Amino acid sequence: MAAPPLDRRISPIIRSTLLGGARPRVLAGMRGFMKGNNFYIFTGGPGAGKTTLLEALRARGYACVDEAARKVLRHQAEIGGNATHDGDRAAYRDLMLAQGLADFHAVTETTAPVFFDRAIPELSGYGNAPGQGDPPALTRAIAECRYADTVFLFPAWQEIYVHDDLRKHTFEHAVRVTHASRAVYERHGYRVVEVPRASVEERVRFVLDAL
């Protein structure tokens, strides 16, 4: 069965961020370089405890932004779309970019710390054909939408790694993603700090002490 047209694969909120399928409308509405000095990224391989720590911080009153990929995948599952990691990867990347821009733009007026479960720079290289560079909209978004200089890396942790309906990869895949996550943020000028494998409370203290 053919995948639905692009406009049917996109939720109304995400669709509103796109401009002619080429450049995100949210980015078009931003006035050049934007720096979220209070926007802290959590990155690393899947199943390393990022989401658990975000929930702990959210319970303490901190603003947290859920992973764009999970939002997109949930919507794709609802509509029977093919913009997924195992389907149309370029469309999946474009939808994650649109969602990431919408998430960034939604909290630009916030002055307190905001914690993100992954962020726009991690889309660099995703869904590209061999030898192909990033699409211009992604390159511009990475350059113009800057987060806090410190990025928190959650190392792959086999003892807590589990599969779920949206996480179907092996632990070895999680290790590779961890290394790739570090590399992409360092390449774009961020300082990567590794979060220790410890209890949730200890990790909360570590992150807050590092702000």
In a domain, 3, yes or no: no
At residue 124, does pLDDT exceed 90? yes
Q: Is residue 26 part of a domain?
A: no
Structural domain count, the chain: 1
Question: pTM for the complete prediction?
Answer: 0.82
124 vs 159, higher pLDDT? 124
> In the predicted model, is pLDDT for residue 26 greater than 70?
no
Residue 86 has pLDDT above 90, yes or no: no
DSSP characters for 95-110?
Answer: HHHHHHHHHHHHTTT-
| Buried b or exposed e, range 22-55, using 16+ CB within 10 angstroms | ebbbbbeebeeeeebebbbbbbbbbbbbbbebbe
- Is 182 or 7 the better-scoring residue by pLDDT? 182
Four-point Cα dihedral 43, 48, 51, 53, nearest 10: -90
Cβ density class 143-154: b for 16+ within 10 Å, e for less: ebbbbbeebbbb
* Cβ contact 18:26 at 8 Å: no
- 15 within a domain of the structure (yes/no): no
Q: At residue 23, does pLDDT exceed 60?
A: no
* CA atoms in the 13 A half-sphere facing the CB of 174: 22
Phi, psi torsion values for 170, nearest 5 degrees: -80, 170
Question: What's the average model confidence in pLDDT over 96-124?
Answer: 95
How does pLDDT run across 38-49, given as a tens digit for each residue? 999 999 988 899
Structural domain of 120: 42-210
- What pLDDT does 22 receive? 37
Residue 183 to residue 44: CA distance in whole angstroms? 11
Flag whether pLDDT at 101 surpasses 70.
yes
Residue 19 has pLDDT above 50, yes or no: no
Q: Residue 126: inside a domain, yes or no? A: yes
pLDDT tens-digit profile of 195-205? 999 999 999 99
For residue 130, the model assigns a pLDDT of 80
**Closest C-alpha to 145, from 50, 45, 34, 49:** 34
**Residue 193 resides in a domain:** yes
Phi-psi region of 6 (alpha: psi -120 to 50; beta: other; left: phi over 0): alpha
Task: Identify whether 93 is part of a domain.
Answer: yes
Helical packing angle, 136-144 and 89-106, nearest 10° = 30
- How much of the chain exceeds pLDDT 70, in percent? 82
pLDDT at 4 over 70: no
Give a yes or no: residue 4 inside a domain.
Answer: no
- Where residue 110 sits, what CATH number does that domain have? 3.40.50.300
